[in-house]
Chain A
């Protein structure tokens, strides 16, 4: 086999020869899935015109509605043990990720590291991660409302008026505080976040979340400066975690439990024990 696989008895992730996620086996199913990092170039507008503003702190507004891939091949290292199996992926010099599955956890963890976003080409960039499955979601997906109930979203649609979208990407982005999900009759895919992010489903079966952005123009909504964080030198590096839960559509209890455990993890306190042996400590 040319595939790399990691997992536990309930969940298996397979990676192709280019290092990308390609298949998930969970809940008795083997389904196609992919995950990659992409970026949008921020729009540069004329801020004196209300409908032609730059992408900035207040608004997400990609230039020309195009998305760009960051890598066609990923460097990978695989570590397998009896507690966790993980794949270390390097997409380019400023994007890397660890994908891991713990022995008895029902989810896969994607720990991403993005930055400093290069701006040598004088283009602002907004980085997203996209999970693409074969789930027939028919344009419907769900985002949470401050970690409480899930709200149904439909691509290119608003419930109370006839919508004509001029910006197909930004117009379909919604706030995600802790969870974004989609499903059909046979499978459900949910992604839990560790922080508030923007997210969408721009095609059936696909979920994407924005993880980091660096922009060179103010959007003229009030902040008065571009979102270009250079105080620490080259720009900020961000690191965070996503949890992927895949299974039958009825598996929502696992999502709620995982949500609690990941958003309210145990507090850790460290104490030097140089003055105590293990028996004295006990």
Chain B
């Protein structure tokens, strides 16, 4: 399906470490 993301979802990734 269409990849729709809301603001809160997207903001949740701002400071995620690139590698875990």
A binds B: no
Chain A contacts to B: CB under 8 angstroms:
none
Chain B contacts to A: CB under 8 angstroms:
none
